[in-house]
Copies of this chain bind each other. A is one copy, B any other.
Amino acid sequence: MKKYEAVRAILGNKLYVPPKYASAKAYAPTNIALCKYWGKRNQELNLPMTSSLSISLGSKGATTELMVSTHAHDLVFLNNHPVDLTTSFGRRLIEFLDLFRAHGMPRFIVNIESNIPIAAGLASSACGFAALAIVLDQLFDWELPEYQLSILARLGSGSASRSIWQGFVEWHAGFRADGMDSFAEPISESWPELCIGLLIVSEKEKMISSRDAMQRTVTTSPLYSAWPSKVSRDLSLVKQAISVQDFSLLGRTAESNAMTMHATMLSAWPTISYMLPETLLAMQKIWQLRRDGLSLYFTQDAGPNLKLLFLKQDADIISQEFAGVDVLQPFLE
């Protein structure tokens, strides 16, 4: 199945109805997986090998405005700078918009305001495609249920399926070949004391996209075969930790899950390592602080930066230990 067939399966005849409004604007938060999405069973539809579970980052994300345009081409601005549509980022974005434009539909002016570093492993594509799915729904007045917005966002970027909501979100891997059961859902529990510290080690562009890294891992890592059952166990543990608010269990499981994901990359060929010397030093510092009694954990995505996990009561000491850390309280923002 092709992406446009998945879109048609959801929108049907709505695909041929022009936009209801001249413009619309929507926000989606970025999200950080506590139990990672790593590996696809279908590359075209971004269908994952396993389920995954994330926390959305409140006010860190993307606000996207779509304006119906009379130009012959789309115009895209990211934080007020024009985006070159021949770049990989530009092409992915236009290809996504094209999925929703039958013959004769208008071009757009797209204004994206993002307050997170692009391509630094902070899931900029997650909030980007989620915001696009939401704003398209508003502009065309489709009134799709959220789970269908999650499916549409997934077609842009897998992890975008989880950025439709705030709070804890689980993306069900699903079984169907057409992906119609592969969408995310929010988990109702709230955890106001939970803090995320963004520890930016480098804002440089990554050497290899997470898309390519994932695929190379699936096809070359001799350890990947053991990953799905690890995720399955960790998903249960994270959900248990959330339901009884056991922070140590949450932190341990999230950190172990991230380290295991990076371990599958280290064993890929050629080796994939998103670690910089500064990443390693930060990890060693976290492990030492933990041995000293601090309840501090981390997770790491496809980039050199770390996301610290801790509780509000330790926020001051962590800000002192890690200069420049950006402390977020996802449930209070």
Contacts and interface: CB of A to CB of B under 8 A. Distances in A.
B264 A223 contact: yes
Contacts of A12: none
Interface in A270-306: 270-271, 273, 275-278, 280-281, 283-284, 287
Given A223-B264, A226-B223, A275 B280 contact: yes
Interface in A236-278: 252, 255-256, 259-260, 262-264, 266-267, 269-271, 273, 275-278
Contacts of A263: 223, 263-264, 266-267
A233 interface: yes
A273 B226 CA distance: 20
Which of A223, A225, A276, A280 has the most B CB atoms < 10 Å from its CB? A223
A11 to B, nearest CB: 40
Q: How many copies does the complex hold?
A: 2
A82 interface: no
A277 B277 CA distance: 4
A229 interface: yes
A222 interface: yes
A230 interface: yes
A280 B280 CA distance: 9
A228 to B, nearest CB: 10
Contacts of A233: 222
Contact of A269 (B226, B256, B271): B256
B223 A229 contact: no
Contact of A260 (B223, B260, B278, B280): B223
Contacts of A270: 287
Interface string A185-222: 00000000000000000000000000000000000001
Nearest to A270: B287
A275 B273 CA distance: 12
A1 B164 CA distance: 60
Instruction: Identify the interface centre among A233, A263, A276: most chain B CB within 10 Å of its CB.
Output: A263
Nearest to A272: B259
Contacts of A260: 222-223, 266-267
Nearest to A275: B280
Given A223-B260, A223-B264, A226-B222, A281 B277 contact: yes
Given A226-B222, A226-B225, A230-B222, A259 B252 contact: no
Contacts of A226: 222-226
Contacts of A252: 269
Given A223-B226, A275-B280, A277-B280, 7 more contacts: A222-B229, A223-B260, A252-B269, A259-B271, A260-B267, A271-B283, A273-B280
23 contacts: A222-B229, A222-B233, A223-B226, A223-B260, A225-B226, A226-B226, A255-B271, A256-B269, A259-B266, A259-B267, A259-B271, A260-B266, A260-B267, A262-B266, A263-B263, A263-B264, A263-B266, A263-B267, A266-B266, A270-B287, A273-B280, A275-B280, A277-B281
Q: Which 5 A-B pairs have the closest CB atoms?
A: A277-B277, A263-B263, A222-B230, A263-B267, A260-B267
